[in-house]
Structure 1
């Protein structure tokens, strides 16, 4: 029962996921699992592993209420990208060698560029939390 998901659908679902702690936790768990399996299958995804884990940690910190110094719009983009990432059938199915992972990788790189300073601030906050 593969579902076809495009960027717009992922972003529509993001609002629902972000407002429901149970769904947010499920997204975080599925994103970690998907990342682990895809990093083994794709060199491109493997290269982005740290970036994706940062996005996962951002969603986790936000949904737990620990970090809120980011716009809601940026969080919706982040959740939307993670939803798109974990969905089995997207614009270019992942079972198509190389190309299937490129759309995921491109979207993750776009998000990093889009979040820019907000993501840098999160990582600085996260580093301070580790020092405590």
Structure 2
């Protein structure tokens, strides 16, 4: 089911990832929603943070090494997070962000090799 949700968002994610202004707008929305949201699981926070920073680093040109497929998947995952229409509505206390966390975990799993390389680059940069 998660894979289907990502595939549904893929065309929109591709369009967003090809436009810097739209990518910036998505990142801004995601940051704002994250500040207001309480993930029920720590892994949801970690996955969101990793994907957010990865897209931001790619967008700025600081880390241009992500394959196009990975950028689209990251964008789709973050897009799902900010989209108000979810499998489980976000306003349901305690469980509303479980579907968001599942989508983000799916994206992390799908592009784990690329994210591992990004994390290594990020850790060595400091």
Shorter-chain TM band: 0.7 to 0.9
Tell me the SS of whatever aligns to 1:43: coil
Contact 1:11/1:81 (CA < 8 Å) preserved in 2?
no
Q: 8 Å contact 1:81–1:108 — kept in the other structure?
A: yes
What corresponds to 2:23 in structure 1?
A: 24
Change (3 A) 1:93 1:53: same
Aligned twin of 1:87: 83
CA contact (8 A) 2:40 2:98 kept: no
Q: Tell me, in whole angstroms, the C-alpha distance in 2 between the residues paired with 1:107 and 1:79.
A: 11
User: Normalised by the size of structure 2, how large is the TM-score?
Assistant: 0.86
Which residue of structure 2 aligns with residue 8 of structure 1?
7
Task: Determine the structure 1 residue equivalent to 2:56.
Answer: 60
Larger-gyration structure (1/2): 1
Check the 8 A contact 1:48/1:105 in 2, yes or no. yes
Which residue in the other structure is 1:3 paired with?
A: none
Q: Distance in 2 between matches of 1:109 and 1:102?
A: 10
Equivalence map 1:1-132=2 (5 Å): 6-39=5-38, 42-44=39-41, 46-130=42-126
Q: Which runs of 5+ in 2 are unaligned?
A: none
Structure 1: gaps (5+ residues): 1-5
Aligned length: 122
C-alpha distance in 1 between matches for 2:114 and 2:106: 14
